[in-house]
Amino acid sequence: MKVALTGSASLLGQALVGALGAEHEVNAAPVGDLRDEAVARRVVAGADALIHLAPLSPDLPAGAAAGEVLDHATRGTYVLLTAAAEAGVGRVVLGSTLDQFEPYPVPWRVSESWQPLPDVTDPANVHQLAAFLAEESAEQFAHVLPFLGFCLRFGEVVAGPGGLGGAEGPEAAPPERRARQVHVEDAVAAVRAALAVAPTQRAPWPDASGELRQGWWVFHIVGAGPHTRFPLGVAANAPERGGLGYAPRHTLAPAAAFPRRPRPRRRATSRSWRRAAGWPPGRCARWWSSAPAGRSPRPRPASWPGRISSG
């Protein structure tokens, strides 16, 4: 398979060039403005698949204005996918980020079906909005153009065992940051799975052969272990169940980062809720506790408030 790759200067892009080179013909896009139609056509010429990481690692000078970053992510994605459709590219893997979900409280188990909440106020977090807008652009293309689209939302991609690129010590990054990270080898495995998986569901218009030609799938790519900032969701499912078969091997998040709280019982009584909240017992609880040991309390008097009397 001939694979076109944007954002090859990033840590993940460099790792993909080396890891996929033995299996596929990887064409790393040269530095250029993807908003230029001629540049976009050269990137996808003759490609069977496209890995689009440019929204995460744009070819822009350091300190570029927020408007320039957003225009590169939106119009650049639009022009590139238009050129990819004209070139007959049948599969697109879009790289995105899990930073869009940071506003959600930590105990909530955010999954792929949740609405992203990118920061639209702080220019330092413009990458969140850029990734979100690139997702929206690619999804609309996947609804009308004949290609399979896979959106992979990565945590912070790192290479070192201590949670930072090249770092060796276990204290290289604080626990809360390590819980948001994913090892570059696991990220590469997720991209490899997205290039090979044959989805079996939600085909809007399957062709006569029954093979899927169009669709959009979203997966969260996190590290291994139970203490990651976001849980491993649909990506871990087998392909026949709508997943990637993704199984991360590197555990970066320590137990002190985000300890998982035990899930509540399916049904909680009023007494247990009051005890957990520190409230005083209800009237019925006080009435039952006043009964002598070994005896049932007397029947509820008809004169109690709330009693419906037949007479």
The whole domain housing 99 covers: 2-241
Q: Are residues 218 and 274 in the same domain?
A: no
Q: Are residues 58 and 129 in the same domain?
A: yes
Residue 241: Cβ-neighbour burial (10 angstroms; 0-12, 13-18, 19+): exposed
Q: Token pair for residue 204?
A: 């809007």
Q: What's the pLDDT score for residue 240?
A: 86
Domain end residue (candidates: 205, 223, 241): 241
Residue 80: which pLDDT band, with cuts at 50, 70 and 90? very high
Closest C-alpha among 254, 195, 257, 245 to residue 221: 245
Q: Are residues 237 and 273 in the same domain?
A: no
> In the predicted model, is pLDDT for residue 217 greater than 90?
yes
Residues 292, 297, 298, 303: is their CA dihedral positive or negative? positive
Q: Work out the number of other CB atoms within 10 angstroms of the CB of residue 260.
A: 12
* Calpha distance 140→92 (Å, rounded): 13
Whether 253 is in a domain gets the answer no
Q: Work out the number of other CB atoms within 10 angstroms of the CB of residue 90.
A: 16
Domain end residue (candidates: 241, 256, 288): 241
Whether 251 is in a domain gets the answer no
The better pLDDT of the pair 31, 139 is held by 139
Q: Are residues 213 and 290 in the same domain?
A: no
Q: Are residues 283 and 176 in the same domain?
A: no
Whether 41 is in a domain gets the answer yes
User: How far apart, in Å, are the Cα atoms of 170 and each of 14, 166, 175, 218?
Assistant: 24, 12, 10, 32
What is the pLDDT of the chain when averaged over all its residues? 82
Q: Residue 52: in which H helix or E strand, if any? A: strand 49-52
Q: Are residues 150 and 54 in the same domain?
A: yes
The 10s digit of each residue's pLDDT in 49-70 is 999 999 998 888 777 899 999 9
CATH number, domain containing residue 135:
3.40.50.720
Q: Are residues 170 and 301 in the same domain?
A: no
Residues 87, 93, 98, 104: is their CA dihedral positive or negative? positive
Q: Are residues 74 and 214 in the same domain?
A: yes
Q: Are residues 186 and 284 in the same domain?
A: no
Q: What's the pLDDT score for residue 294?
A: 52
Whether 167 is in a domain gets the answer yes
**3-state class of 258 per DSSP?**
coil
The better pLDDT of the pair 170, 44 is held by 44
Whether 255 is in a domain gets the answer no
Q: Are residues 80 and 156 in the same domain?
A: yes
Whether 264 is in a domain gets the answer no
Q: What's the pLDDT score for residue 290?
A: 52
Of 24-38, 69-83, 268-282, the range with the lowest mean pLDDT is 268-282
The 10s digit of each residue's pLDDT in 11-25 is 999 999 999 988 899
* Calpha distance 131→307 (Å, rounded): 60
Q: Are residues 123 and 80 in the same domain?
A: yes
Q: What's the pLDDT score for residue 288?
A: 47
> In the predicted model, is pLDDT for residue 76 greater than 60?
yes
* Calpha distance 233→152 (Å, rounded): 12
Domain total in the chain:
2
* Calpha distance 97→69 (Å, rounded): 15
Kindly give the pairing relationship between strand 25-28 and strand 156-158: unpaired
* Calpha distance 110→228 (Å, rounded): 11
Whether 249 is in a domain gets the answer no
Q: Are residues 310 and 237 in the same domain?
A: no
Give yes or no for a contact between 284 and 276, defined as CB atoms under 8 angstroms apart. no
Q: What's the pLDDT score for residue 287?
A: 46
Whether 259 is in a domain gets the answer no
Closest C-alpha among 91, 98, 37, 50 to residue 229: 98
> In the predicted model, is pLDDT for residue 86 greater than 90?
yes
**3-state class of 49 per DSSP?**
strand
The better pLDDT of the pair 292, 159 is held by 159
